[in-house]
Amino acid sequence: MQKTIAITLRILLHAGALSPLLLLIWDFTQGGLTANPIREIQLRTGRYTLLLLTLTLACTPVYNFTGFRQALALRRPMGLYAFAYASLHLLNLVGLDYGFDFALLWEDIAEKRYIIAGFAAFLILLALAVTSTKGWVRRLGRNWQRLHWLIYVAGILAVLHYLWQIKIAISAPFIYGIIVLVLLLLRVPAVSRVTMKYFKRKEGR
């Protein structure tokens, strides 16, 4: 039974994470990406990255409060999908928007604070993706866990990146901001102990 649940969850994860990409490719080939397709790709890949990043952060609290162990197995693939969408997001800007003209890119956007926050979040996801293999877990030992706490910093930077670029209707970045902060708070040992007691769970992660 456990195995069937694990396989079903994996299938759902891959289908859920890949379908926005397939839809994006489909819309691109059908000319369905608004009058400014490059910007539309930028916005869509950015939204998927943030959504996947937030879902990755939610896996451990879901396990802590429900005991649903399978949630832990979803963290790595979900985080890697977040990194993949972030890479597409960056590649779209550098390649399609700026035609790999790094001098122009630097002149136009490098000093914007929302770009600095987005780029810092991307670098963290890159480091976490590289060190997500079994070999790196072994090599880094206890430092692996410390390094992977940086995912919360990436989450906060990603929310700031979103917040700082929006001029009107800032509700979406605020909602993401609150969710990321709550998920972070739930990992603070004291808070986690109290909430787990409420959910009658003995051991957490």
Instruction: Read off the tokens for 156.
Output: 């906060």
Instruction: Read off the tokens for 29.
Output: 């080939």
At closest approach, how far in Å is the CB of 80 from ligand HEM?
A: 13
Separation CA 129–CA 75 (nearest Å): 11
At closest approach, how far in Å is the CB of 18 from ligand HEM?
A: 18
Q: Does 84 bind ligand HEM (CB under 6 A)?
A: no
Instruction: Read off the tokens for 105.
Output: 């890119």
Nearest residue to ligand HEM on Cβ basis: 46
At closest approach, how far in Å is the CB of 103 from ligand HEM?
A: 15
At closest approach, how far in Å is the CB of 195 from ligand HEM?
A: 27
Q: Does 24 bind ligand HEM (CB under 6 A)?
A: no
Under rule CB under 6 A, which residues in 114-173 are in contact with ligand HEM? 115, 118-119, 121-122, 125, 154, 158, 161-162, 165
Separation CA 170–CA 164 (nearest Å): 9
Nearer to ligand HEM among residue 79 and residue 204 (C-beta)? 79
3-state secondary structure 46-84: HHHHHHHHHHHHHHHHHHHHHCCCHHHHHHHHHHHHHHH
At closest approach, how far in Å is the CB of 24 from ligand HEM?
A: 13
Nearer to ligand HEM among residue 17 and residue 53 (C-beta)? 53
Instruction: Read off the tokens for 116.
Output: 């600095």
Instruction: Tally the C-alpha atoms within 13 A of residue 168's C-alpha that lie toward its C-beta.
Output: 0
Q: Are 94 and 52 in contact (CB under 8 A)?
A: no
* Binding site residues, ligand HEM, CB under 6 A: 39, 42-43, 46-47, 49-50, 53, 86, 89-90, 93, 115, 118-119, 121-122, 125, 154, 158, 161-162, 165
